[in-house]
């Protein structure tokens, strides 16, 4: 297929087979270009695209033309660039080339990052490269010709350069140093050095060692500035010889601990809090099902979204249906909030989700039901890491009426937790995705006691959550990536609360029921440190857990008319009696047929 004019369409140009050829004066639209099969022939034309991607089966023939990739995001092109033309990388994003590219015009890295190969594709290659100020060239592949660097060269292993390497005074060479090895530039030609050398030390246990960071046919000049602090107790120097630059590290055995680890232990604590909060929603509903208002104040999650309501009077309308159907009722509620835990490795959260259920009057005294829901919460560690927590959950529950004023309630639940985390390090973003299995249980005794013009609703009980968190390994930050061991997290909280409600009836029959509640709880299980490894070292990341003694307050207002339509709005807060604060606002409607 041949294009004969300048195209004006928007969107991505995708080539999956055959050849898309540009005739004289023609060009593709400026959107992304994806070549997953077949090829694109620029036919000597100049072309700019918004991003470049594709697999090993794709090919781009430049002829004598120039392809400019001006992308803000990250992508990988595994195909082949060929011809006498050149590639220009602009924009703030990262383009990774994993194929063997023969385009003789080379690559100009004018913005963002260009990676030649990666750990899975060390055989990637380009012909030559220039790096502008503010841009970065990285990778583990091969550059056949010369490299001129006025920006940043940061090999992610051994980067081979067939020709010479010339670093300008504005240029920077970034070398990753681990306890056992260091990244390296290996040259077939001369190394002309100036500018800055940055040494980035990975976590691990360091001993005396000599690293070779540059190998060349000859070395002239030298680095004017060296940045990067040697591990405590060691001394770093640079050695220049006729064909190498070495980094001798001498001194006592010392350990470099990983940084920005606050998100690692915070994940388990946040998931436990979310599990406790899901149980609280069930018990709030059961209070309404039994005829009380419910407190809604037990440990609110730092961020949640749920649904609640009540159709228990449906059986009055469906009297002609079988008794099993007539006894069913549905409920739903919506809430959301934010919160934070202060401390050296503290964190904040925000997010949303839902919970809905159906139950029935199984016997004169027993109500049984099942609920399902989903929540998504975002976690922001104070040291810079962050995570996303997704939890679909399922619960069964029941309430047994001991007498008209007292009931015993219980629930059992399961949630599958899907967790992703990101940490910003000196060598890039370390990210991982993993999962956990969560079990929960709660039991409480609840009463409704008339007192003068109000009802007092006392509660006492215990709630328990256990989370089996899967171990995981990060990627994306080379030697700063962590491997985190699997862990078992637990939370057990005895609690006691008291709510006060009063019902008012307006002249038009509208019923207004305000509520104020207070609950005290104590966490019995201390939070443990996360076990992790980095490089050749084993480390722990200690959490900042919420204070073990917790006091929660809530205000709510129920409004109903004619027994069919009801609304509820509520506010709950974990009071700042310790290092944690939460704020949760909820609102909902209930319609009874």
Query: Are 232 and 354 contained in the same domain?
Result: no
Beta bridge partners of 449: 456
Report CA-CA distances (Å) from 471 to 69, 132, 390, 483, 533: 38, 41, 17, 8, 11
Query: Are 26 and 9 contained in the same domain?
Result: yes
Residue 219 domain-assigned (yes or no) = yes
Query: Are 559 and 438 contained in the same domain?
Result: yes
- Give the confidence band of 589 by pLDDT, cuts at 50, 70, 90: low
Residue 306 domain-assigned (yes or no) = no
| Per-residue confidence (pLDDT) for residue 4, from 0 to 100 | 66
| Per-residue confidence (pLDDT) for residue 5, from 0 to 100 | 62
Higher pLDDT, 294 or 131: 131
For residue 447, the SS3 value is strand
For residues 563-581, give the mean pLDDT.
Answer: 85
- pLDDT, tens digit, for every residue of 355-396? 888 888 899 899 999 999 999 999 999 999 999 999 999 999
Cα 353 to Cα 103: distance, rounded to the nearest angstrom? 51
Cα 208 to Cα 234: distance, rounded to the nearest angstrom? 8
Q: Is the pLDDT of residue 313 over 60?
A: no
Q: Which residues contact 137 (CB under 8 A, 6 or more apart)?
A: 109, 113, 114, 116, 129, 131, 147, 149, 151, 152, 153, 154
Total structural domains in the chain? 2
- Least confident segment among 75-79, 311-315, 368-372, 507-511: 311-315
The most confident of 297-311, 320-334, 381-395, 555-569, by mean pLDDT:
381-395
Q: Is the pLDDT of residue 315 over 70?
A: no
| Per-residue confidence (pLDDT) for residue 291, from 0 to 100 | 60
Report CA-CA distances (Å) from 147 to 66, 167, 309, 393, 569: 19, 8, 67, 55, 65
| Per-residue confidence (pLDDT) for residue 552, from 0 to 100 | 96
> What's this model's pTM, rounded to 2 decimal places?
0.81
| Per-residue confidence (pLDDT) for residue 357, from 0 to 100 | 87
Cα 549 to Cα 257: distance, rounded to the nearest angstrom? 32
Query: Are 286 and 400 contained in the same domain?
Result: yes
Name which of 546, 279, 239 is nearest 395 in CA terms.
279
- Give the confidence band of 354 by pLDDT, cuts at 50, 70, 90: confident
Q: Is the pLDDT of residue 592 over 70?
A: no
| Per-residue confidence (pLDDT) for residue 86, from 0 to 100 | 96
Residue 182 domain-assigned (yes or no) = yes
Query: Are 270 and 237 contained in the same domain?
Result: no
For residues 211-218, give the mean pLDDT.
Answer: 97
Query: Are 228 and 271 contained in the same domain?
Result: no
Query: Are 272 and 240 contained in the same domain?
Result: no
Query: Are 93 and 216 contained in the same domain?
Result: yes
Residue 431 domain-assigned (yes or no) = yes
- Least confident segment among 138-152, 282-296, 537-551: 282-296
| Per-residue confidence (pLDDT) for residue 563, from 0 to 100 | 61
Cα 406 to Cα 516: distance, rounded to the nearest angstrom? 20
Residue 115 domain-assigned (yes or no) = yes
Query: Are 360 and 493 contained in the same domain?
Result: yes
Q: What is the mean pLDDT of the chain?
A: 89
Residue 114 domain-assigned (yes or no) = yes
| Per-residue confidence (pLDDT) for residue 30, from 0 to 100 | 80
Higher pLDDT, 327 or 37: 37
Query: Are 336 and 243 contained in the same domain?
Result: no
- Give the confidence band of 304 by pLDDT, cuts at 50, 70, 90: very low
Residue 303 domain-assigned (yes or no) = no
pLDDT > 90 in the chain, percent: 72
Q: Is the pLDDT of residue 325 over 80?
A: no
Q: Is the pLDDT of residue 578 over 60?
A: yes
Q: Is the pLDDT of residue 297 over 80?
A: no
Residue 220 phi, psi dihedral angles, 5° rounding: -135, 160
Here the CATH number for the domain that contains residue 370 is: 2.40.128.130
Q: Is the pLDDT of residue 293 over 70?
A: no
| Per-residue confidence (pLDDT) for residue 134, from 0 to 100 | 96
For residues 199-209, give the mean pLDDT.
Answer: 94
- Give the confidence band of 288 by pLDDT, cuts at 50, 70, 90: confident
**Beta-strand (E) ranges in 243-385?**
244-251, 254-256, 328-341, 347-361, 366-381
- pLDDT, tens digit, for every residue of 488-541? 999 999 999 999 999 899 888 899 989 999 999 999 999 889 999 998 999 999
For residues 475-481, give the mean pLDDT.
Answer: 92
Q: What share of the chain is helix, strand, coil (3-state, %, to 5)?
A: 5, 55, 35
| Per-residue confidence (pLDDT) for residue 412, from 0 to 100 | 97
Alpha-carbon dihedral of residues 13, 14, 17, 19, nearest 10 degrees? 20
- pLDDT, tens digit, for every residue of 233-250? 999 999 999 999 999 999
Cα 421 to Cα 432: distance, rounded to the nearest angstrom? 6
DSSP 361-407: E-SSSEEEEEEEEEEEEEEEETTS-EEEEEEEEEEEEEEEEEETTEE
- The residue range of the domain holding 284 is 265-297+311-592
Query: Are 32 and 173 contained in the same domain?
Result: yes
Residues in the chain: 593
- Least confident segment among 40-44, 62-66, 335-339: 335-339
Q: Is the pLDDT of residue 308 over 60?
A: no
Q: Is the pLDDT of residue 69 over 80?
A: yes
Query: Are 169 and 317 contained in the same domain?
Result: no
Residue 302 domain-assigned (yes or no) = no
| Per-residue confidence (pLDDT) for residue 285, from 0 to 100 | 80
Q: Is the pLDDT of residue 453 over 70?
A: yes
């Amino acid at each position: 297929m041949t294009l004969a004019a300048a195209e004006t369409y928007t969107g991505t140009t995708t080539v999956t087979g055959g050849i898309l050829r540009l005739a004289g004066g023609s060009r593709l639209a400026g959107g992304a270009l994806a070549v997953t099969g077949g090829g694109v022939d620029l036919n000597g034309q100049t072309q700019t695209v918004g991003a470049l991607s594709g697999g090993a089966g794709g090919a781009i023939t430049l002829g004598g033309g120039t392809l400019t990739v001006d992308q803000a995001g990250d992508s990988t092109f595994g195909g082949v660039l060929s011809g006498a033309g050149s590639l220009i990388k602009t924009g703030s994003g990262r383009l990774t080339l994993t194929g063997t590219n023969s385009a003789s015009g080379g690559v100009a890295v004018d913005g963002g990052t260009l990676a030649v190969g990666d750990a899975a594709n060390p055989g990637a290659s380009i012909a030559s490269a220039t790096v502008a100020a503010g841009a970065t060239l990285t990778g583990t592949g091969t550059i056949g010709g010369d490299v001129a660097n006025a920006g940043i060269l940061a090999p992610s292993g051994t980067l081979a350069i067939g020709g010479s390497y010339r670093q300008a005074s504005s240029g920077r060479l970034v070398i990753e140093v681990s306890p056992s090895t260091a990244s390296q530039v290996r040259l077939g030609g001369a190394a002309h050095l100036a500018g800055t050398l940055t040494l980035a030390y990975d976590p691990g246990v360091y001993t005396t060692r000599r690293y070779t960071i540059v190998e060349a046919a000859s070395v002239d000049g030298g680095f004017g500035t060296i940045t990067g602090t040697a591990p405590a107790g060691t001394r770093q120097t640079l050695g220049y010889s006729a064909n190498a630059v070495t980094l001798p590290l001498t001194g006592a055995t010392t350990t470099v601990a990983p940084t920005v680890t606050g998100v690692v232990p915070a994940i388990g604590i946040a998931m436990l809090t979310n599990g406790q909060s899901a149980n609280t929603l069930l018990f709030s509903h059961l209070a309404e099902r039994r005829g009380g208002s419910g407190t809604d104040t037990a440990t609110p999650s730092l961020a949640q979204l749920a649904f609640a309501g009540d159709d228990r009077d449906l059986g009055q309308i469906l009297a002609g249906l079988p008794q099993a159907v007539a006894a069913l009722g549905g409920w739903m509620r919506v809430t959301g909030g934010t919160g934070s835990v202060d401390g050296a490795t503290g964190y904040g959260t925000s997010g949303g989700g839902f919970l809905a259920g159906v139950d029935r009057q199984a016997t004169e005294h027993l109500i049984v039901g099942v609920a399902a829901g989903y929540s998504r919460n975002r976690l922001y560690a104070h040291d810079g890491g962050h995570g996303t927590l997704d939890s679909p959950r399922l619960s069964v529950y029941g309430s047994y009426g001991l007498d008209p004023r007292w009931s015993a309630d219980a629930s059992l639940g399961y949630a599958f937790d899907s967790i992703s985390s990101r940490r910003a390090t000196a060598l890039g973003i370390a990210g991982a995705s993993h999962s956990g299995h969560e079990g929960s249980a709660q039991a409480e005794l609840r009463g409704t006691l008339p007192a003068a013009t109000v009802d007092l609703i006392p509660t006492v009980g215990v709630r328990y959550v256990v989370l089996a968190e899967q171990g995981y390994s990060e990627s994306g930050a080379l030697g700063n990536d962590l491997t985190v061991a699997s862990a078992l997290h637990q939370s057990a909280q005895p609690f006691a609360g008291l709510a006060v409600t009063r019902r008012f009836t307006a002249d038009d029959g509208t019923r207004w029921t305000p509520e104020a509640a207070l609950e005290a709880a104590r966490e019995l299980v201390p939070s443990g440190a996360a076990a992790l490894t980095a490089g050749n070292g084993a480390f722990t990341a200690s959490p900042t857990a919420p204070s073990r003694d917790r006091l929660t307050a809530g205000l709510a207002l129920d409004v109903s008319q004619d027994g069919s339509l009801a609304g509820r709005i509520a506010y709950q807060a974990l009071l700042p009696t310790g290092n944690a604060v939460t704020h949760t606002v909820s609102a909902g409607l209930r319609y009874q047929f």
